[in-house]
Amino acid sequence: MIDGAKGIENLVDRLAVDHILSREEFCYLLENIRPEQDGYLYEKARKQALASYGNRIFVRGLMEFTNYCKNDCYYCGIRRSNQKASRYRLTPEQVMDCCHTGYGLGFRTFVLQGGEDPWFTDDKIAYLVERIRGGYPDCAITLSVGEKDYDTYKMWFDAGADRYLLRHETANPCHYASLHPPQMSSAHRKECLGNLKKIGYQTGCGIMVGAPYQTTGHIAEDLEYMYGLQPEMVGIGPFIPHHDTPFGDRPAGTLRQTLLLLAIVRLMLPGVLLPATTALGTIEPDGREQGVMAGANVVMPNLSPLDVRKKYMLYDNKISTGVEAAANIKELKQRMASIGYEVVTDRGDFRKTLPECV
Ligand code: SAM
């Protein structure tokens, strides 16, 4: 039995030391923390991020290289069934141009993200990775192109990819089935994540906060799953509806719930690389700064060519200009400096050994 106001602070303290709570305790924390107690959690998480990586914010140059997708996830604006989406693919030359621009701006991680586009065969993706690896030997390459088999992931790793982002979306199989068509399964998503870890990728999982049908129990299950996987990266952003999807009239996830989860994940996985996501910046103009103040330490500005950015519309009003644009890194630096953080030119790899912080 957990007791009153002190109970919340005790749970936060214990999470900061033990890095794990029971499912019941995670639920209690999420359901009972009062807004005036949020600061206590954020402060602990921010201290842990400072102890793990200092006041350094790592940037990743995001290249959304195709919005074709064979999948039909009910929440996603580039799902196969969205006939209104205007589809595009970048050529290898366009991708290399983005890298060239990004390198000049100080980016040392390139993220290739896209829908599951069969036109980009495994070999074509390997070719892209090899070209980036050859041109930018000092940079990290992150892939985020969905579910593949072990051998494909291994081939891309051998071609030079270092990291892979594949949000598990939800660890609960029934919840997963309510967000995806029957061809997709939580078990396969988790198998992919296990393979990525086995191969040696710095691996990222994650969820959308406030996804349709999500309960506190599901989130507690997600946290337990993340703790078991020990990912190097975790992507957490609010769900935001897209008007041309089956979930077009659902409410978006909230800023507060997202910040609470960022802070909890920071305390649970002290060395995790934790982005303040574009979705967070979409629901609140200073959402990313608030994310950093709650323990995030990564930002992923958009390096894609301007004319395609509006087409990678996963959800309504997705931001792609202003501080979200890689070209405006100067403004991002100023905004991070205004809260006491420094945007660094660094691959920003996961750190295995960390100083303890309580
Ligand atoms: N195809 C790759 C994959 O499945 O991992 C990468 C692209 S996928 C569009 C990237 C992420 O976008 C998903 O993992 C999902 O969490 C997020 N996303 C999609 N629709 C969203 C929405 N409506 N609101 C917030 N995030 C969304």
CB-based contacts of 28, cutoff 8 Å, min separation 6: 2, 7, 11
Distance 76 CA to ligand 1 centre (A): 6
pLDDT of residue 356: 65
Q: For residue 222, give Cα distances in angstroms to 210, 229, 263, 356.
A: 13, 10, 14, 24
| Range 31-40 contact pairs with CB under 8 angstroms and sequence separation of 24 or more | 31/216, 32/2, 32/7, 32/8, 33/8, 33/260, 34/5, 34/8, 35/256, 37/5, 37/8, 37/9, 38/256, 38/259, 38/260, 40/8, 40/9, 40/12
Report the nearest atom of ligand 1 relative to the CA of 242.
Answer: 23
Distance 45 CA to ligand 1 centre (A): 25
Report the nearest atom of ligand 1 relative to the CA of 314.
Answer: 20
pLDDT of residue 5: 64
Q: Is the CB of 167 under 6 A from ligand 1?
A: yes
pLDDT of residue 43: 98
Q: Measured between alpha carbons, how far is 272 from 4 in angstroms, rounded to an integer?
A: 30
Q: What are 170-228's pLDDT values in tens digits?
A: 999 999 999 999 999 999 999 999 999 999 999 999 999 999 999 999 999 999 999 99
Q: Which of 62, 64, 75, 247 to mutate to test the pocket of ligand 1 (most atoms within 8 A of CB)?
A: 75
Q: Measured between alpha carbons, how far is 5 from 323 in angstroms, rounded to an integer?
A: 38
Residue 220's CB is within 10 A of a number of other CB atoms, namely 23
Closest CA to 195 of 238, 262, 146: 146
pLDDT of residue 321: 84
Instruction: Provide the residue ranges of all domains of the chain, joining segments of one domain with +.
Output: 4-344
Report the nearest atom of ligand 1 relative to the CA of 238.
Answer: 25
**27 in Cβ contact with 217 (< 8 Å):** yes
CA angle 122, 144, 226 (to 5 degrees): 125
CA angle 337, 338, 341 (to 5 degrees): 35
**262 in Cβ contact with 207 (< 8 Å):** no
Q: Which of 62, 142, 164, 167 to mutate to test the pocket of ligand 1 (most atoms within 8 A of CB)?
A: 167
**227 in Cβ contact with 19 (< 8 Å):** yes
- The sheet with strand 163-165 has its strands ordered as 61-66, 109-114, 140-144, 163-165, 202-209, 233-238
pLDDT of residue 277: 95
If phi > 0 it is left, if psi is from -120 to 50 it is alpha, else beta; for residue 81 that is alpha
CB-based contacts of 218, cutoff 8 Å, min separation 6: 170, 171, 172, 175
pLDDT of residue 354: 76
310: its two tokens: 């509006």
Which residues of the chain have a pLDDT value below 50? Answer: none
Q: Measured between alpha carbons, how far is 358 from 352 in angstroms, rounded to an integer?
A: 18
CA 298 to chain centroid, in Å, comes to 9
Element spanning 238, H or E: strand 233-238
Its CATH class, for the domain covering 4-344, is alpha beta
CA angle 241, 209, 56 (to 5 degrees): 115
pLDDT of residue 4: 63
pLDDT of residue 324: 85
pLDDT of residue 184: 98
Q: Is the CB of 256 under 6 A from ligand 1?
A: no
